[in-house]
Amino acid sequence: ETGVTQTPRHLVMGMTNKKSLKCEQHLGHNAMYWYKQSAKKPLELMFVYSLEERVENNSVPSRFSPECPNSSHLFLHLHTLQPEDSALYLCASSQDFSRGIGEQFFGPGTRLTVL
């Protein structure tokens, strides 16, 4: 595996379900990000981890819960989601969380549908 991988690629869940999204980066980077991408809207930064510590949390509802057990893995735990949470969830990594400067490498995303 190379680059940034995400599983699952597609997920359909009910509002009462609990599921988790997984991201893994094979680039030796120190920073990882979760983004939400909705149709025709800008990418929304949800969470940033640098060296396994959360450094950014942009007012994301508590029904989204991130976890970063090590610098290569990032999870997004989902529970009691709403239909408006349906979107593409992208994971990204960069060499360092050097204050936003520097290329980010993205995974292919998880297409989430909440019924």
Question: Which residues here bind other proteins, judged by CB under 8 A?
Answer: 4, 40-43, 45, 90, 99-101, 103-109
C-beta closer to other proteins: residue 17 or 43:
43
C-alpha neighbours within 13 Å on the C-beta side of residue 78:
23
Instruction: Give me the least distance between CB of 7 and other proteins, in Å please.
Output: 14
Contacts of 50 (CB under 8 A, 6+ apart): 30, 31, 96, 97
C-beta closer to other proteins: residue 96 or 115:
96
Instruction: Give me the least distance between CB of 1 and other proteins, in Å please.
Output: 14
In 3-state terms the chain splits into helix, strand, coil percentages (rounded to 5) of 5, 55, 40
Instruction: Give me the least distance between CB of 78 and other proteins, in Å please.
Output: 20
C-beta closer to other proteins: residue 42 or 83:
42
The pair of structure tokens assigned to 99 is 């204050």
C-beta closer to other proteins: residue 66 or 109:
109
Which of the 8 DSSP states describes residue 83? Answer: G
Instruction: Give me the least distance between CB of 18 and other proteins, in Å please.
Output: 26
C-beta neighbour count of 71 within 10 angstroms: 17
